[in-house]
Amino acid sequence: MSQLFRAAAVVLAIAVVAFGAGYLYRDSRHVDARIVTADSCSAMYDGSGTCMVDGIGYGIPVHVEWTDSMGALNDGSDPACLPPLTSATGLRVAVAWVWVGDVGTAYVFWIDCRDEPTRSPGVVFGAGR
């Protein structure tokens, strides 16, 4: 066996192992994201909350990005269409399952406030603390 053939075989073996390791690592950590119309969303006193989509609760973090009625992206403030201690239906939201191995967590990472939702004050579980 020539040295050139051995060197090519070693390089090919390393490439196959590196590809396989990268594929397995990518497969253990991934995000499944989509934009949907939520069945309902509720905001707590601190701005965090939950959006229900097809029976699954997606958590809204305190600092969530949102688009206002003028189309501007906002970050770090309460969404105008979902102020604290309110509920709304018909909001378009970007939701994601974030997976690490076999463990997944559901998040809302963007809220679309370009269209006015139907809001209900005071229908938030855990409010009043």
pLDDT, one tens digit per residue, over 43-76 is 998 889 999 999 999 999 988 999 999 999 998 7
Average pLDDT over residues 9-35: 59
CA distance 68 to 51: 18
Average pLDDT over residues 95-122: 84
Alpha-carbon dihedral 124, 125, 126, 129, rounded to 10 degrees: 40
CA distance 10 to 4: 10
- Give the C-alpha distances (Å, rounded to integers) separating 113 from 83, 92, 95: 11, 8, 15
Q: What is the pLDDT of residue 119?
A: 73
Average pLDDT over residues 89-116: 89
Give SS3 for 65.
Answer: strand
Average pLDDT, the chain: 79
